[in-house]
Amino acid sequence: QALIADCSACGCPDGMICSGSTCTAPLHSFSMDVELPPSFYTTSSSPVIVTLTNTGTFAASGFFLMRVDAYDAQHLLLKSVPQQLSLDDLSVSGIHSITIPVQLPALSKQLSVRLFQSTIEKPESQFIGETTPVSVSVQSDSTPPTAPSSLSYSAVSPGYTLSWNASPSSDVSAY
């Protein structure tokens, strides 16, 4: 799609804005809220819920990159969890939520979310904004779950069938 050389004279196509005398894709404007679980565990992923609100003056469409960044006490980046996001006509004041599973390193003390956008003219990601860093608590779970009980087996040709009562522990993910 070719850009119109002088959009002040003839207007810009849909989804473009006039910047000086050039039609360009606008960068979007959002507010971001982050909802965290009460604590994170080093052994499992926890959901980070990010809610975007379109604070711009036009509907938001396009491809975005959201990064959940974990920092240590000296604000050194420990881990970055990227998540692609596609918006299709998110209306002005419209809200979009996304859940990102995150497993944080044990030394994590702060977390922030950064948002980037790519445009036709500038395919490299452009920084849109980030949340204020939020303190996080990362727990190490070193207590093993309770063992299953009443283990029994029976011979079934050509092998065996096992049965048991499941562990009452809530942190057992699979057998």
Q: For the whole prediction, is pTM greater than 0.75? A: no
Predicted local distance difference test score (pLDDT) of residue 157: 87
Q: Give which of 72, 64, 76, 86 is closest to 130, Cα–Cα.
A: 64
DSSP string, 63-75: EEEEEEEEE-TT-
Predicted local distance difference test score (pLDDT) of residue 80: 94
Predicted local distance difference test score (pLDDT) of residue 35: 93
Predicted local distance difference test score (pLDDT) of residue 3: 43
Tens digits of pLDDT across the chain (175 residues): 444 445 555 567 665 666 666 666 666 789 999 999 888 888 788 999 999 999 988 888 888 889 999 999 999 999 999 998 889 889 999 999 999 999 999 999 999 999 988 765 565 678 888 999 999 989 887 778 888 999 999 999 888 999 999 998 877 777 7
Predicted local distance difference test score (pLDDT) of residue 2: 44
SS3 content of the chain, % helix, strand, coil (to 5): 0, 50, 45
Give the ranges where the chain is alpha helix by DSSP (H): 7-10
Predicted local distance difference test score (pLDDT) of residue 111: 94
Q: Is the bond preceding residue 168 a cis peptide, omega within 30 degrees?
A: no
Is residue 128 within 8 A of residue 27, CB to CB? The reply is yes
DSSP string, 16-48: -EEETTEEEPPPP-EEEEEE--S-EETTS-EEE
Q: Give which of 130, 107, 103 is closest to 47, Cα–Cα.
A: 103
List residues bridging with 30 in a β-sheet. Answer: 54
